[in-house]
Every structure is written in structure tokens, then in C-alpha cells.
Structure 1
Amino acid sequence: MHNDAIIATAHAMADAARAVVLPYFRTLDLSAENKSVSGFDPVTAADKAAERAMIEVLRAHRPDDAVLGEEFGEVAGTSGLTWVIDPVDGTRAFLSGTPTWGVLVSVRDQSGPLFGLIDQPYIGERFEGGFGLSQMTGPQGARPLAVRGPRLLADAILFSTFPEIGSSEEAAAFRRVAQAVQLVRYGMDCYAYALLAAGQIDLVIEAGLQAYDIQAPIAVIEAAGGIVTNWQGGPADEGGRVLAAADRVQHAAALKLLADV
């Protein structure tokens, strides 16, 4: 496996998405379709155009790899590698003008995510992890990623996207953790996972995720020394209920409060 070529392809895909989505961001005439029959799950022209651009790059560089994207689904490959991509993770934030959305690019084999990249085009930050790499680049240059040191759950900072997380049972489980930590913040989308890998926060808890929401964050966080599982402590690769933590002590403490659901 040529890791350098895979990493270069991931960056080229993120660059292509960045070029497509930025002209749409904070434009007053941007509209959205609703993909959900029971809530609001928006998709915009930016989502679709960016995913097309990412797939074009992938086909030019690695035509034998499979791809799973949020907007256009799965296309089979023959190499044993699958690219799992989300062109705009956090479309609600994108529509609202808040720069917590991001471009997610990851590549996996049968064992799980191998490399991941979280890109925030508007503020110019990119977080990557896997194949021995763990770093972020941005306006202040490049630096290694590393999760925060161990601390008590009572001293932890917890992020999530929605205060009304999941079902009533899932929301009750989340509140048990939220009441045990020092600080809770909402509405962070994929940027929450980037901040965990960068050592700014301790926990991210979400429910109802898809594979394309979490596989890039898994690779980035694990490369930075963190841990990502489902609420029972098993693999979170396919999404669902996700617990990301900076260290195993906090992970175990949060898991104990979540695992009854």
C-alpha cells in the first residue's frame, strides 16, 4: 500500500471540495432541499457539487478504489479500499453561516479507518491522522495533534451537536454525562472532533450518525491518542451512537453513564 499516494489523494479531494463550497458559503440566495420526511435534513447545491468534484479527483488518482458518499451513495471497487466522504458535514451550520461545518475524507479497509482528514475551508484549518501522521495546518502554520491529558470527568469539557440528542432514552443518557462534567457546548458538528484531537476538549457524544459522519474523525482522533467507540464500547465505524474521548479514564466514566441505553 502506497501511503503517500493515498494521503496525497485525500488532500486533493479536500482541496477540490474546498474550492467548490467556499463560493456558496454565506450567500443569501443559497437554498436547501429537505431529505427527511420527519425533520429537517438539508442538502444544498454545494453538497452535491463538492461530492462530484471529490469523486472526480478520486477517479483520476485511484480508479480501483470504492467510494461511499453522503449524497450519491456507494460505488464498488476492486482494490480493497473504500473512501468514505462527506462534502459538507454540518449542512445546517453551513446554511446558518457558522464555520463549524467541514469536509470529511477518510479511507478504510476491512479493519476500519486507516486515514482521515477534517477540513474547515472558511477558516483554513485542516486536521489529519493516520499512517503515522497526526497534525493540523492552518493560518498559524502546522503543529502536531495531541489530545488533552487525563482529568476527572468533573473537570471535562463535553461537546455535542444537538441538545435534543436522539431518542428520549438517548437524551436521558446524554444528560447523565452532561450533568457530571464541567462544561457543555452544542452546535459544533465535525469541528468538535477536530478540537478533541487538538487537545481543546475532552468528550464528544452524539447519536444517529452515519458512517460518513464519523470515519474521518475516528482516524484523526485515534492518531492523536484519543478513543472513539459506540455507547457500549464497541466499534463506531458505522455510526449510530458515538462516544469520543481524550483518554480511557474519561471514556470509561462516560461509558458507564451511557451504556444502559
Structure 2
Amino acid sequence: MDDLTLAQRLADAAGAAIRPWFRRPFLVEMKEDFSPVTAADRDAEAAIRRLLDEYRPEDGVIGEEYGDDRADAERVWVLDPIDGTRAFVAGRPLFGTLIALMEGGQPVLGVIDQCIIGDRWLAGPDHPTTLNGQRVHARRCPDLADARIGTTSPQAFGADDFVQFEHVRRAAADTLYGGDCHNYGLVAAGHLDAVVESGLKLHDWAALAPIITGAGGVIMDWHGQPLSQGHDDGGRVIAAGDAELAATIAGLLTG
């Protein structure tokens, strides 16, 4: 089974584990970083790991809920079973399962799967980004004054980062809040022009990078540097459909 086919099998398994919990009673726990976790998060990651153990036993795995296994391997799968657990808890179908494959510390394959409304973005080697099987393209929008931008929550920014983000928000045509990983899929599909965030971890962005670049967009840190497994700029990320727009945003964020 090739990696793209396997990645979709992994997403199918995660969705099957998540759907029975959606809008049903369940316990919400708070982790040490004050982020919520549910049985759905854990069941979904466990389902993915079972398949990886079967089909890719030599590959490494880094998961949000169950930690690292052979994280120094050449090939590493990076998992966020529910990106947007707060949205999931609230019954909002804007969360997603994120599955990435890293090779040599670089993300080469990504899946964003929204198992309730049925949106699935997929990108990988020799496979430009698709949404539900149809190729998508990011929108060319070089002028921030014409751009629709998104971010999950103002509260996710540190105080200094939020001040810088406000420069971008004021200059943009419109700003949307909420959406988590779904926002990045919307950039890839040309519906949203950029996403700006801070505090992301590897499992938050690894799957997003191939999705954005495979649609002709750009994803980078606030200083314009590419994202990689060993790179850390405080989880500060810009994703945009247009490289000129990304550069303008980066200038406002760091200037």
C-alpha cells in the first residue's frame, strides 16, 4: 500500500472513532498545557497507531495524545487526532484530523480530514492538493487590503504577538475567527487568503504544509523561514495563497 492510500486509510479509521462521540455526552479533561482532551481524541489516535503498527512498523510516530515512538527515524508520521478539540466539544464541525508524513524532518504528505461534513484535503509527492478528490488552487491576492484572513483565536497569541497581529488585522479586508485546521484547507481551496497564528506545535502544522504548498500557496514562520521538524519560532506560522501577500504580512508581524 502506498503512502497516500495508507494516509486515507488512517483518516478513515480516525473518523470512524470520532463520529460516535460527536454531540454526545463525554468527559472533557484538561491537560497540563490547559488544552482539552476527550475520549474521541484518544480513540482516534489509537486507531491510527494500530494501522501504522501493521503497515509501517519501521516508521516513527509523533502524536499529540500518545507521544513519540522512534521520533528520530528517517520517516515519521505526525498525528493530531482532533485539531480543534474545543470546537469538537462545542459541537462545531470545524475541527479536523491531521496526518502528516515527515521525511528527513520535512513534511512531504498531509491530510486534513473533517469527518462530519466530509471535507478531506490530501497532498503528497506527485499529488497536488485535492479536496474530496478534486484538485484545488490557492487564490492569488497580493494586496492585504483585499485579503480575507483567518486565525483560530486572539487568545492563542501571546501579548506581544497579539499586538503584532493587530497590525495585520487592521490592514486586511476582513478577519475571520475560529476554524482551526479548516482555515488552512480554505486557503488551499482559494476561499481564504491567509492564516496567521502563534504557538503551534509540530502536530498542529506538519500536515498543513504540504496542503498549502501543493495548492500553490506558501507557509512559513513570521520571519519568512520554512517550517521543519527541528525549527522553532514559537510556533508562529503564516500560510497564504500568494507569496507577495505572505511577505507583506511577515513585514507587519516583525516590523
Letter of the structure 2 residue corresponding to residue 7 of structure 1 = L
Inter-CA distance 78–63: structure 2 relative to 1 (3 Å threshold):
farther
Q: 2:70 aligns with which of 63, 67, 76?
A: 76
Listed one character per residue, the Cα deviations across residues 43-72 of structure 1 (whole Å, up to 9, x for unaligned) are 000001110100001111111000000001
How far off its partner does 1:143 sit?
Answer: 1.5
In structure 2, the partner of 1:186 is 177
In structure 1, the partner of 2:94 is 100
User: Following the alignment from structure 2 to structure 1, what is the Cα–Cα distance between the partners of residues 180 and 41?
Assistant: 15
In structure 1, the partner of 2:56 is 62
Output the TM-score relative to the length of structure 1. Answer: 0.92
| In the alignment, structure 1 residue 122 sits paired with structure 2 residue 82 | no
Letter of the structure 2 residue corresponding to residue 102 of structure 1 = G
Using the TM superposition, name which of 127-136 and 117-126 deviates more: 127-136
Once the two structures are superposed, the pairs formed by residues 4-15 of structure 1 within 5 Å of their partners are 5-15=2-12
Listed one character per residue, the Cα deviations across residues 135-165 of structure 1 (whole Å, up to 9, x for unaligned) are 4344xxx311110023311000000000234
**Gapped regions of structure 2 (runs ≥ 5):** none
User: Following the alignment from structure 2 to structure 1, what is the Cα–Cα distance between the partners of residues 200 and 72?
Assistant: 27
- Answer whether contact 1:229 1:235 (CA < 8 A) is retained: yes
- Answer whether contact 2:60 2:75 (CA < 8 A) is retained: yes
Inter-CA distance 24–257: structure 2 relative to 1 (3 Å threshold):
same
Q: 1:17 aligns with which of 6, 14, 18?
A: 14
Inter-CA distance 78–237: structure 2 relative to 1 (3 Å threshold):
closer
- Answer whether contact 1:196 1:245 (CA < 8 A) is retained: yes
- Answer whether contact 2:4 2:124 (CA < 8 A) is retained: no
What secondary structure does 1:107 align onto?
strand
Letter of the structure 1 residue corresponding to residue 165 of structure 2 = F
- The total of aligned residue pairs comes to 251
What secondary structure does 1:94 align onto?
helix
How far off its partner does 1:112 sit?
Answer: 0.5
Once the two structures are superposed, the pairs formed by residues 37-56 of structure 1 within 5 Å of their partners are 40-56=34-50
In structure 2, the partner of 1:252 is 247
- Answer whether contact 2:60 2:70 (CA < 8 A) is retained: yes
Listed one character per residue, the Cα deviations across residues 153-196 of structure 1 (whole Å, up to 9, x for unaligned) are 10000000002342111000100000000000001100000100
In structure 1, the partner of 2:157 is 166
| In the alignment, structure 1 residue 156 sits paired with structure 2 residue 147 | yes
Once the two structures are superposed, the pairs formed by residues 79-90 of structure 1 within 5 Å of their partners are 80-90=74-84
Inter-CA distance 8–79: structure 2 relative to 1 (3 Å threshold):
farther
| In the alignment, structure 1 residue 26 sits paired with structure 2 residue 23 | yes
What secondary structure does 2:171 align onto?
coil
User: Following the alignment from structure 1 to structure 2, what is the Cα–Cα distance between the partners of residues 77 and 168?
Assistant: 32
User: Following the alignment from structure 1 to structure 2, what is the Cα–Cα distance between the partners of residues 143 and 197?
Assistant: 12
Letter of the structure 2 residue corresponding to residue 217 of structure 1 = L
Once the two structures are superposed, the pairs formed by residues 231-242 of structure 1 within 5 Å of their partners are 231-238=222-229, 240-242=235-237
What secondary structure does 2:102 align onto?
strand
Output the TM-score relative to the length of structure 2. Answer: 0.94
How far off its partner does 1:31 sit?
Answer: 1.7
| In the alignment, structure 1 residue 226 sits paired with structure 2 residue 241 | no
Tell me the percent identity: 38
**Gapped regions of structure 1 (runs ≥ 5):** none
Letter of the structure 2 residue corresponding to residue 45 of structure 1 = A
